[in-house]
Amino acid sequence: MNQTFRKTALMVGAFSLLGMCYSPKAYAADAVQNVQQATKKITGTVVDAQGPVIGASVMEKGTSNGTVTDFDGKFSLNVKPGATIVISFIGYKAQEIAVGNQSSFNITMQDDNAVLDEVVVVGYGVQKKKLVTGATIEVKGEDIANRNTISPLSALQNQSPGVNIVAASGKPGDGFKVNIRGAGTNGNTTPLYVVDGVVGDINSVNPADIERIDVLKDAASSAIYGARAANGVILITTKQGKAGKVTVNYDGNIGWSNLVKVPKQLNAKEYMDIMDMTRVNDGGSPHSWENFIDADLLEAYRNGSNPGTNWLELLRNKNAVTTSHSLNITGGSEYSKFSTGIGYQYQDGIIGGDLAKSDYSRFTLRLNSEHVIAKSSKGRDIITFGENVYYSHNQQQGIGIGNMYWNAIYTMLHNSPLIPVYNKDGELFDYDDLIAQGIHTDQYPNGMLSLNQYYGNAINTVTHSSLANNRSRYHNLNATGYITISPLNGLTYKGLVYYKNYSSVWKGYDMTYRNNDNDQNVNDMLSENMGTGWNWGMTHTLNYVFDIKSHHIDVLAGTEYSREGNGMGDNLGAQVSGNVFKDMFNYAYPANFSGRDGSATLPYNNNLPATDHSILSYFGRLNYDFAEKYMFSAILRADGSSNFAKGHRWGIFPSFSAGWVVSNEKFMESASSWLSFLKIRGSWGQNGNEGIGAFKYSATYSFGPYGNYSFNNAKDVGAQGAYPERLSNEDITWETSEQLDLGFDARFLGGKLALNFDYYVKKTKDLLLDVPVSAINGFAYVMDNAGTIKNSGIEVALNWNDNIGKDFTYNIGWNIATNKNEVTEVNNGSRYINGGENLLSQGTTYMARFEEGHPLGYFWGYKTEGVMQNEADVQAYLDKNCKGDANNSLQGTSIAPGDLKFVDTNGDGIITSDDKVELGDPHPDVTMGINLGLNYKGLDFSVSGYAALGQQVAHSYRRFGDSQYDNWSTNVYNYWHGEGTGNGRYPILKPGTSTNMIQVSDIYVDDADYFRLQTLTLGYDVTKLFKSFPLQQLRVYFQAQNLFTITKYDGMEPEQGNSIANESWVTGTDISNYPQPRTFLVGVNVKF
């Protein structure tokens, strides 16, 4: 008792220092009861179908007297006479056994299908699932690992209604665009990923290392992470050690990937015909092709013996190999547990191949262990220490797939089929070959380039530039140590400190080549950027759980501090020209560049410190329930961020939630035959966002690259200049996301059918926007709290688990989520922000808007009503839309049949930009996931699918605004070429700068609903064949990924998560994104 008291005193001291509220009185009230009465010793063994259950809790009912089972499932306990013991363990039905006269027990635990006693991970702790009052989703590690994906996110996609996960692209190693319950912010919508209690990155985690993922969707659930939880929170728990025999898991697979769908581009003959038609429609005459192409080649094109170049086919990598190997070793004792994982993944790209290697590899190492330093005589852990160490190294190289200026696939798709890849000598066809073609006259001095000065060999462009010659390498180390101290039952202090180090190297190498004056590198050039940074932080929490009769109370108080930068990170970049190993990417290191002393130049901003950034937080949580029937929870978190000016730093984020387990009421007992569980819950809360970068509030002078001037004819470098860096706004403060959630969870028919329902309204207020302002004060943008976005929707998840007979079990899961996204306030002068200029093609104007009353980043342009078929149709169009006057039409006096009918939406009789309307919404209205699983003896079969409905994609694979000479897909035959021709949607074929085509209208916006069969898996556990097999499991499996996609969208890929615009809120534009591969793989799971 004495010693306990001294501990208490120390704890009080420690926590007073932490500025936290702690009452020794409460502590004293629940002092350990030393059971000194007459007792009886009982012993026993707890087993399940597989063998001993280690760590099961054995409690004397109504007391705090209890123990846990040991290595062999055995326990011993002193109980009062007439006691009842309660045996429980996660995932099993709890059992109550009256001790009576018996002193030895053999207890067999039954799987708890209802899993109602399952706990879920919440912020800084766990909570019984049935008591959770917020909206959360939990996904088991095995349901992630068995998808065999590189990133856990792709496995999560169809198992988490309300979490929108869209692959950025199918390029190996590319990430995902993720938002929870709709895009709530203009900037980064990515939720907060918390890996083992520390903010981290989900993409670097090997799915095989994951124990479970918990998604906190509503504000009340995520409020405990207040500071950065505006976009929701995803908690990742990696595999932890378990007491018992050491188990070894190996999962390995190898697969082959292929491109699924390619647009059918015109061949050389078709191309020439279409180019002629374009020119004739434009008032010219057909091209004299012999001026540009040698006679024999032209003849071969014309008679079809040479179809011309199919550019994308050249980069197609057939049967690209993907492979994954994961080894997990878990084990430990009552005192010490460990879990180790090693993983290696490799994925080769389906586009790139030998010409432009595009692949990804990742190595991961995880070391988790936990040690009990002090145990009470009752078997309770008093002090435990543990650490989680995660290291990952990954490397990505491959083709650029950004906007139209940086996209290898686009470069292929729009290139002319008339240009050969190789010349007669087998070398890449280049400038000399281009100008050597055709008939040389004064009028056509440059051969093929006389037709179009932008003509060039796309393979030359890609393979000789950093579009293909680039490589990124990343190293991440996350190390966490923690200690928990539980001086008495129910009271736990946890202290956690972490250190993260991250570093990266990117290099890109441009080699020398010449296609034409606009597409050439005279000198080679290496660009290299390196960066390293760190982040440290600590968390202290104090948790006290106690019961007063049927009142269960769980209070938590904590503080957290994190800091990054602070002079311990550096970024460095260099650019050099003149490689001694000319045009050899693998030898492109600055030291190999000629004139080693002088030619290596550091660009501006070449060395920057990592940004200094810190957050300090205090938080508290009260969870209360009465007899597991009525629940209430309140959270308050205060966060201070260094990103704001003094006086605006602190944000306070409260949340409240309540629940009612209706099925525990007496009056519901009659329904228990069919309704096993029903909980109604509601929550309201607020979360914050401060992620704008440091010093945005302050008026500063910069000495960067935008202020130098070459006085004294200093041609090499300008005189150092200084200039105001930004329009300061000291008033900026936290962005706040406020959310209301109403829902229920129900289980029917003895738990076979589960139903979850949620309705939510999420408002993100005081959006931190770089908002356009009148530029007269020197800056076109200012960072401000300047907008509101509302997301609302419902989420339904249905799961059916059953068995037919003893051997056949099956489950069916279906979930659906709707979301309506609307910008309700843009607080600048214009009430809108434009985005997406030069996005669909060079020369197209802004095509996306952030505007009140519309979805975030909706497509903005002209509405059309088909194509004018004849003169009468033209007149009818003018009468209806342009007061009968062609001058008022967009096409002007040259308006003619074949032109688009741009609609006068505002009815003023003139077609102007005021008639532009919402043409589409890049966000899906509805997303759906379907999962099916069957098990029969050792055989397992599962299918997963995902659908996204109601979204649009803006789409063009041609840089039509630049030139009429880009190649077309066969979609060109849908263009108008005479009365009644075409599909009625596309206008007369003219150069892309013609009004019909350069103006952004709905002809570029397509519905992109899709359903994708994500995985189909068939597995068999060989050990079931033999009675005594040396392994616990030897499962072989076959899996098909992305087997098919059902969509009307005619581009390569309806899933468009790649943001290629300058504005991150502009999404859903497809100028030829890297499509998702279709993969077949075989693999093996071994467990012993």
714 sits near other proteins (criterion: CB under 8 A) = yes
Return the residue matching tokens 């009968």.
Answer: 884
Shortest Cβ 176–other proteins spacing (Å): 27
Query: Of 23 and 607, which CB lies nearer to other proteins in the complex structure?
Result: 607
The sign of the dihedral angle between the CA atoms of 632, 681, 163, 159 is positive
Contact between 497 and other proteins by CB under 8 A: the answer reads: yes
DSSP 189: -
Minimum Å distance from CB 362 to other proteins?
A: 29
Exactly one of 5, 7, 970, 971 binds other proteins (CB under 8 A); that residue is: 7
Reading phi first (left if > 0) and then psi (alpha if -120 to 50, else beta), residue 300 is in alpha
Rounded to whole angstroms, the Cα distance separating 649 from 228 reads 14
Nearer to other proteins, 964 or 1059 (CB): 964
Smallest distance from the beta carbon of 370 to other proteins, in angstroms? 15
Give which of 646, 674, 819, 898 is closest to 161, Cα–Cα. 819
CB nearer to other proteins: pick between 106 and 713? 713
Select from 477, 694, 742, 1084 the one that contacts other proteins (CB under 8 A). Answer: 694
Footprint on residues 789-828 left by other proteins (CB under 8 A): 828
Side chain identity, residue 245: K
Q: What are phi and psi of 33, to 5 degrees?
A: -90, 120
594 binds other proteins (CB under 8 A): no
**Footprint (CB under 8 A) of other proteins, residues 634-673:** 640-643, 649
Q: How far is the CB of 505 from other proteins (least distance, A)?
A: 17
> Is residue 910 involved in binding other proteins (CB under 8 A)?
yes
Count of CA atoms in the C-beta half-sphere (13 A) of 176: 23
Nearer to other proteins (CB atom), residue 90 or residue 719: 719
Report which of 57, 87, 60, 54 is spatially closest to residue 72, judged by C-alpha positions.
54
Helix axes 268-281, 295-302, angle to 10 degrees: 90
Pick one of 52, 724, 751, 897: the residue that binds other proteins (CB under 8 A): 724
* Site string (432-461) toward other proteins, x via CB under 8 A: ----------xxxxx--xxxxx--------
Q: Tell which positions 251-290 bind other proteins, by CB under 8 A.
A: 283-284
Candidate list 998, 1018, 1036, 1084; residue touching other proteins; CB under 8 A: 998
Which residues inside 511-540 make contact with other proteins, applying CB under 8 A? 517, 522-523, 525, 538, 540
Pick from 539, 737, 537, 541: nearest CA to 620: 541
Q: What's the rounded Cα separation, in Å, for the pair 830 and 835?
A: 14
Rg from Cα positions in the chain: 33
Q: Which two tokens stand for residue 590?
A: 């600055």
Q: How far apart are CA 94 and CA 110, in angstroms?
A: 8
Instruction: Rank residues 407 and 995 by Cβ distance to other proteins and give the closer one.
Output: 995
**Phi–psi pair at 142, nearest 5 degrees:** -65, -30
Three-state SS at 349? coil
Q: Which amino acid is at 790?
A: K
Applying CB under 8 A, the span of 718-726, 748-756, 791-799, 1030-1038 interacting with other proteins comes to: 718-726
- Which one among 189, 663, 891, 1076 touches other proteins, defined by CB under 8 A? 891
**Is 4 an interacting residue with respect to other proteins (CB under 8 A)?**
no
Residue 645 near residue 582, CB atoms below 8 Å: no
Comparing CB distances to other proteins, the nearer of 562 and 1015 is 562
Nearest to 881 by CA among 860, 900, 863, 905: 905
884: number of Cβ within 10 Å: 12
Smallest gap from residue 517 Cβ to other proteins (A): 5
Name the nearest CA neighbour of 855 among 835, 873, 870: 835
Regarding 956 and contact with other proteins (CB under 8 A), the answer is: no
- Residue 462 token pair: 């890609």
- Closer residue to other proteins in complex, CB, 672/912: 912
**Min CB(249)–other proteins separation in Å:** 34
Site for other proteins in 602-631 (CB under 8 A): 603-605, 608-609, 611-616
Q: Which of residues 207-226 bind other proteins (CB under 8 A)?
A: none
- Total site size for other proteins, rule CB under 8 A: 132
How would you classify the pairing of strands 986-988 and 975-976? parallel
Q: Please report, as residue ranges, which positions from 751 to 780 form the binding site for other proteins (by CB under 8 A).
A: 772-780
In the complex, what is the shortest distance from the CB of residue 526 to other proteins, in angstroms, rounded to a whole number?
11
| Smallest distance from other proteins to CB 610, Å | 10
Stretch 328-347 residues interacting with other proteins (CB under 8 A): none
The SS3 assignment for 489 reads: coil
Residue 17 in contact with other proteins, rule: CB under 8 A? yes
Using the rule CB under 8 A, is 707 a contact of other proteins? yes
User: Which is closer to other proteins, CB of 618 or CB of 660?
Assistant: 618
> Judged by CB under 8 A, does residue 5 bind other proteins?
no
Residues 732/783, Cβ–Cβ less than 8 Å: yes
3-state SS, one letter per residue, for 220-253: HHHHHHHHHCCCCEEEEEECCCCCEEEEEEEEEE
Would you call 664 helix, strand, or coil by DSSP?
helix
Task: List binders of other proteins among 912-951 (CB under 8 A).
Answer: 912-913
Among 727, 755, 761, 1022, binds other proteins (CB under 8 A): 727
**Burial annotation 714-741 (CB, 10 A radius, 16+ → b, else e):** eeeeeeeeeeebbbbbeebbbbbbbbbb
Q: Is 377 in the site for other proteins (CB under 8 A)?
A: no
Question: Shortest distance, CB of residue 356 to other proteins, whole angstroms?
Answer: 21
Structure tokens given for 129: 């699932």
User: Is residue 600 near other proteins by the rule CB under 8 A?
Assistant: no
Q: According to CB under 8 A, which residues from 825 to 884 bind other proteins?
A: 828-832, 834, 842-843, 845-846
Q: Which CB atom, from 244 or from 835, has the smaller least distance to other proteins?
A: 835
Closer to other proteins by CB, 851 or 1070: give it.
Answer: 851
Please, which of residues 162-201 interact with other proteins by CB under 8 A? none
Looking at beta carbons only, is 296 or 597 nearer to other proteins? 597
Task: Based on the shown chain and the rule CB under 8 A, indicate whether residue 374 belongs to the binding site for other proteins.
Answer: yes
Q: For residue 628, what is the DSSP state? A: T
| Coil/strand/helix, residue 411 | helix
Question: Is 888 one of the binding residues for other proteins (CB under 8 A)?
Answer: yes
27 vs 444 by CB, closer to other proteins: 444
Q: Which is nearer to other proteins, 252 or 495 (CB)?
A: 495
CA-based max dimension of the chain: 116
- Regarding 584 and contact with other proteins (CB under 8 A), the answer is no
In the block, tokens 């006679």 appear at: 295
